[in-house]
Structure 1
């Protein structure tokens, strides 16, 4: 940064004004770019079906020009069905490991791509707001096609938020919510601090305001904890001791706010990972034990 050769009140004022304007313009451009990156669709071709895991490709209509894409694997009749909902910027393939072990235990499973992810269309990622409509669509589909089966849902980060933000809440018999943030503001703050340090706190208000304008909704509409009192199904919260994106204390806050019956499993050593990949044996034992109680 170069200073003026001679400082006079007039040149100093101009120099300071130029620096301030330059910083503000750079910050505004950065916020716009970051907002586009965060909300841009994560559309991708999921690929062909797996011969070693027989599933049926399903297309669930969800209004004009929109359909939820997914895979359905039937299990033992009367054992129950589990809806699997992936994390942000991912798709149904992320939930394949969970689907395999659940199906081996007799559960039917439905894996879906949320809007603007995988093969389900969408213009922007909305951090659970529009994605919650896809969850309701999937649950309605299962209720209509399997009227005598109990239904559970497992959601990871965005998937967990989409389940809780659904309004009215879908009729479920059990819930597993993994690495879920209580509020959207806290989720943004954690990630900005993790990647930008204390500077992230300075740009947080700008980013939140821009995202609110970009998505045409209030940030408060994206807070899972504000909907948690609506739960009518037993819920298992899963989080890791070393998760810096969604901390253990945030998981405990959600757990304390949820009605009974509820369980909390804090995974030793786990960060913001795929919990099934991190410790498959413990995950399968804990989740199976929970689901067996209610399905």
Structure 2
């Protein structure tokens, strides 16, 4: 009898210790991945290192950014957060606007080279939101694109209000920004959204974090992913399993250009093939051989810009271009 009691107490103690450890581990990974904080681990990650042999052709984009006169926009998200965006009206009035979505732990300024392309070469208005938990936007957590998808829908509404009912809108995102616009694609979008460009986005938050737990920490996903997901649901309102770009592109009615680097080890290249296979009827795939994460345009600037220009040109019609109703 006493032996059975001892065994039972040992089992209960082990269970309690396991729960305590998992709670501690969950809070640790929540702080590392989800909480708004400096992500120092990114700077040391070799999978994000730029190729020293490839010159950055967009080094002057920061100077271009500094020379622009941006408007500061804001809106209140569905959960009450105040979100910020920069808006740059085109030199010549137009109903064509691109919304540029930045990556994880980034900010809108990091999309300056893309903004310069759309503004200078294509004559678009440019909207650059700071995602919740980033830049000048409020929020104490990162949503990996899932809550942000609803924020993007509200920014789309603002663009239509500004440029009129005949607005033609392109969504272009990189990394987490790509996941954001893909997750947005599965929502009921207004007819003004004509095309989406998704550059190096992941299939789902669960897939990406499973991959990173193994690659960065040499750890299995179970039970860490599940426990951290539960904590994220409690604190940030979403779970890793529901935050799926793959499921959203299956529902998308908007044409999507999928772009990825063939040498991407941070968001593995195989993900883009799954996304493309499950994407909408109108889609295109552009993989740049050897390019690391977020470096497809740096590796092949001419090819990248050509693919983007040709793709969006199929759906954004020049003959529909007109002066914006409100400036």
Equivalent of residue 227 in structure 2, options 184, 196, 206: 206
Equivalent of residue 70 in structure 2, options 48, 55, 75: 55
- Contact conserved, 2:260 with 2:272, CA < 8 A, in 1? yes
C-alpha distance in 1 between matches for 2:82 and 2:190: 19
C-alpha distance in 2 between matches for 1:14 and 1:89: 45
Residue number in structure 1 paired with 2:207: 186
Residue number in structure 2 paired with 1:158: 176
**Structure 1 unaligned residues grouped into runs of 5+:** 1-9
C-alpha distance in 2 between matches for 1:23 and 1:78: 60
C-alpha distance in 1 between matches for 2:12 and 2:263: 44
Equivalent of residue 88 in structure 2, options 54, 60, 72: 72
Structure 2 residue 271 is the aligned partner of structure 1 residue 250: yes
Equivalent of residue 289 in structure 1, options 293, 310, 315: 310
* Aligned-residue offset at 1:283: 1.9
- Contact conserved, 1:240 with 1:270, CA < 8 A, in 2? yes
CA-atom RMSD in angstroms: 3.2
**Structure 2 unaligned residues grouped into runs of 5+:** 39-61, 317-327
CA gap 1:111/1:30 in 2 versus in 1, 3 angstroms = same
C-alpha distance in 1 between matches for 2:16 and 2:265: 34
- Equivalences for 1:256-267 in 2 at 5 Å? 256-267=277-288
CA gap 1:275/1:93 in 2 versus in 1, 3 angstroms = farther
* Aligned-residue offset at 1:56: 2.4
Residue number in structure 1 paired with 2:290: 269
Segment of structure 1 superposing worse, 24-33 or 105-114:
24-33
* Aligned-residue offset at 1:24: 6.0
CA gap 1:79/1:276 in 2 versus in 1, 3 angstroms = farther
C-alpha distance in 2 between matches for 1:71 and 1:107: 11
Residue number in structure 2 paired with 1:5: none
TM-score between the two structures when normalised by the length of structure 2 = 0.75
Residue number in structure 2 paired with 1:3: none
TM-score between the two structures when normalised by the length of structure 1 = 0.83
C-alpha distance in 1 between matches for 2:87 and 2:93: 18
